[in-house]
Structure 1
Amino acid sequence: MMTENTTKSAGCPDAVVDAALFLAAERGWNGISLADIAAEAGVTLADMRVVAESKSAILKAFLARLDDSLWTGALPAADETPRDRLFDVVMRRFDVMQEQRAGVKAIFRGLLADPLLLLMSGPHLLKTSARMLEVSGISASGPAGALKVKGLTAIYLAVLRVWLSDDSPDMGRTMAALDRFLRGAESIAGLAWRVPGTARSAGADPGNNPA
C-alpha cells in the first residue's frame, strides 16, 4: 500500500496531487487521464483506485491542500483592521497557488470552463470562504455571516480570474484587485468586515471602485 504523505482530510497522497499538477501544466486538466496521473506518480492503478478513484477526488484533495495553507501561517496581527487581516489570509492562499502556478492555472481554467464541475465545487468554495473569514477573526455565523461568506466567495472568484492572467512575479495585479474588491464590498454592500479608519493598501487607489 502507499505510504506517501496525504493531504489532510482528503486521503489522497501528495505525490498524486503533485503528479496531477505537473501533467496539467503540460497538457491541461482535460487532457490527462487517471492512468496518466498514476503513471507519473509511480503508483499502480490498484493503489490509485483506493486513494483517488476519479479526477474529481484528486481535485478535492488539491482544494483541501489549499485550505490547509490557511492554518499554517501566523495569525493575522491583532492591530490590523478586519479587512487587512482578510486581505492577508486570502493572499496566503494565492501565495501557495503561485508555488505551482502552471499546474494550478491549468486546473482552475478547466474548472472555470466546466459549469457542471464549478457548480459541484460550489459548496466547497463556500466552506473555504467561511474558513478564510474565521481565520481572519471575522465571524461567518448567522445570517450576517452567510452574507459575508457569499460576498467573499464572489470576490475570490473574481480575483482568481485576475490571478490567472497575472504573470507578474509579485502578483501585483492580483493584490490590487483583491484590495479593490474588498473595499468595494464595504462601500457598496456594507459587508461587516468594514472598520472605520485607514487600512493598508495593496497597491490600489483607496478611492477606486470595483469594475
Structure 2
Amino acid sequence: MSDIHPPSADEGPARSDREKILEGFMALLAEHRFERIGLGDIARASGISLSQLRREFSSPVAIVAAYMKEIDLKVLSGGDADMAEESPREKLFDVLMRRLDLLAPHKRAIRSLLRSAACNPPLALVLAGFGAQSQRWMLAASDIDSAGLKGMMRAQGLTMLFACVLRTWVDDEDPGLARTMAVLDRELSRGQRWSGCLDRLCAIPEGLSRIGSPRPRRRRGRDGDPVAA
C-alpha cells in the first residue's frame, strides 16, 4: 500500500512500540480491509521497523487479540461504585456500554473488521474465540458466574449477543446511541431467558445423578425390622 505514511514525530508524548503498533494498525484498519493489510504496512504506519514489529507481535491477528485485551483491561479498571446496588443484568448493561464507549475512537476500524469477518469464515471463527475470552471477563465484572461449562456457554452466548449489538452500533450516528441501547436491552432480555433455560438444563444431570445413585443398604434386625446400614 503506497499511500501509507509513518506518523509524524510531534504526535504527543513518547509511546511504546506496542502502543504505536496498536494505533497504527487500527488506523490502517479504518481505511483498508483486514485481509489487505500486510506486515510491512503495519510497520510503516506505526513508524517502526519490521524487527520491532516482530518483537511485539507475530501476526495481524495477534494485534487484534492484543487490542481486545487492552479494551478488557480498561473496562475492568473503570468499575463504578454506583453499580454495587444494581442487579447483574443492569451491571452487564453498564459494562457492555462502557466497552462500546472505549471502542468508539476506532469505530471505523471495527466496522471494517466486521465486514471482513462476514466474508471470511476463518477470521470470524478466530474473532469469536477472542470475543468469548473477553466476554467471560465481562460476565465476571457483572457478578455473573463464569466458571465451568455453564460459564463457557454463557460467554459464547454473550459473544453472539455483543456481535449483534456491534452491527447496530457501527452504523449508529446518534450521540446518545438510542438504537444501540435498545438493541442491547432487547438482546439482554433474550439472553436472560436463555440463561434461565441453561440453568434448568444444567440442573437435569444433577437430578439424574441423584436418581441413579445407590440407595443406602439396609439390614434386618433380629426381629425382622429393617435397620439402616
Q: TM-score, normalised by structure 2?
A: 0.73
- Moved beyond 4 Å, runs of 4+: none
1:18 aligns with 2:23: yes
Q: Which moved more, 1:125-134 or 1:66-75?
A: 66-75
Q: Is the 8 A contact 2:69 2:134 kept in 1?
A: no
**Where does 1:1-211 land on structure 2 (aligned, <5 Å)?**
4-5=15-16, 13-75=18-80, 77-187=83-193, 189-190=195-196
1:133 and 1:149 in contact (8 A); partners too? yes
Contact preservation (8 Å) 2:139, 2:155 = yes
2:16 maps to amino acid: N
Does the CA-based 8 Å contact 1:22-1:103 persist in structure 2?
A: yes
1:107: how far off? Answer: 2.4
Q: CA 1:191/1:147 → structure 2, altered by over 3 Å: closer, same or farther?
A: farther
CA shift at 1:14, angstroms?
A: 1.3
State the Cα distance separating 1:5 from its structure 2 match: 3.3
Higher relative contact order (CA 8 A, sep 6+): 1
Deviation, 1:189, is 5.0
Backbone CA RMSD of aligned residues = 2.2
Give the 3-state SS of the residue equivalent to 1:165 in structure 2.
Answer: coil
* Larger proportion of helix: 2
Higher mean displacement: 51-60 or 184-193 = 184-193
SS in 2 for 1:78: helix
- Structure 1 pair 170–34 and aligned structure 2 pair: CA distance change class (3 A): farther
Q: Which moved more, 1:112-121 or 1:91-100?
A: 112-121
Unaligned runs of 5+ in 1: 7-12, 194-211
Q: Is the alpha carbon distance of 1:55 and 1:123 closer, same or farther for their aligned partners in structure 2, counting shifts above 3 Å? A: same
In 2, Cα distance between the equivalents of 1:170 and 1:61?
A: 28
> Per the alignment, do residues 139 and 61 of structure 1 end up closer, same or farther by CA in structure 2, a change over 3 Å counting?
same
Q: Which amino acid aligns with 2:106?
A: Q
> TM-score, structure 1 length as denominator?
0.78
Gap regions ≥5 residues in structure 2: 1-13, 200-229
**CA 1:53/1:185 → structure 2, altered by over 3 Å: closer, same or farther?**
closer
Offset, 1:188? 5.2
Distance in 2 of aligned mates of 1:82 and 1:141: 16
Paired residues in the alignment total 185
The amino acid of 2:78's aligned partner reads G
